[in-house]
Amino acid sequence: MKIALITGASSGFGERFVANLAEYLKKGDDIDEIWAVARRLERLEKLQNFTEIKVRPVCGDITSNQFLSSLKELFVENKVQIKLLINCAGYGKIGEFDEILLEDNCGQIRLNCEALTAITQIALPYMDKNSDILNVASVAAFLPQPQFAVYAATKSYVLSFSKALRVELKKRNINVTTLCPGPAKTEFFNVAETIKKMPAFKRSFMYDADFVVKKGLKGLKKKRAVIVPGFCMKSFNILCKIIPHKILLAVFK
């Protein structure tokens, strides 16, 4: 059974990847099922309305070792071949580091870094040549983010990890692509803004989630290493490469 495995599929980018994947696959290999992974079963059950590909809801918490073990068992039982892994699950909290609960500071690391790493490792034995991994990072990976410190650090990890893994897996002909979007119109900010709001200047750069996802899938098709959707975010990436971070942080402050 050839599958696409998508984490964080109940909302945001994950949901939109489910909805847009069929169009992407018309130009590529067939997928028998999308395995949509998230904690909210009622949301997962509605995903079939968005796509013509069969969707299998896989409800659970990817930070749980017990769930990861059960997921590996499902791979074995169904004799899966994972053609595409999209790691979308993640969250952030805006606010001063010591304003945010310990549970949330550490929770971001567990979900954004540890769970992404674990899912990737348990999926790899079921991937062969011409398979793809798409890890969702953020433009926050390019520059430390005061009042978004832990989140930005986790996304720097995702970007670094993905670049290194891309080199390692090249000999197996498995592609690894990193998607680095800017702020987007998703439910992400319902959680992120419970303590403080996003700075006003960032709201002017918000993109539509479908725009981000379609750019991601288009870049994945071309086997690109890093995808930064939108002119403004591409410009931000260049600035972070040529201007010392100390200066940029002072300007943004």
* Residue pLDDT, tens place only, 210-236: 999 999 999 999 999 999 999 999 999
The pLDDT value recorded for residue 2 is: 96
The pLDDT value recorded for residue 203 is: 65
> How does residue 253 score in pLDDT terms, banded at 50, 70 and 90?
confident
pTM for this entry: 0.92
Locate all alpha helices (DSSP H) within the chain, ordered by sequence.
12-25, 41-45, 65-78, 102-109, 116-123, 149-169, 188-192, 200-203, 209-221, 231-242, 245-252
233 vs 55: CA distance, rounded Å: 32
The pLDDT value recorded for residue 229 is: 96
The pLDDT value recorded for residue 191 is: 72
Give the residue among 62, 67, 61, 6 at the shortest CA–CA distance from 31: 6
> How does residue 3 score in pLDDT terms, banded at 50, 70 and 90?
very high
Neighbours of 231 (CB within 10 A): 8
Helix (H) / strand (E) containing 2: strand 2-7
- Range of weakest confidence among 23-32, 79-88, 188-197, 221-230: 188-197
The pLDDT value recorded for residue 27 is: 53
In one-letter notation, the amino acid at residue 6 is I
162 vs 144: CA distance, rounded Å: 18
Q: Classify burial at 223, counting beta carbons within 10 Å of its beta carbon; exposed 0-12, middle 13-18, buried 19 or more.
A: exposed
**End-to-end Cα distance, the chain:** 51
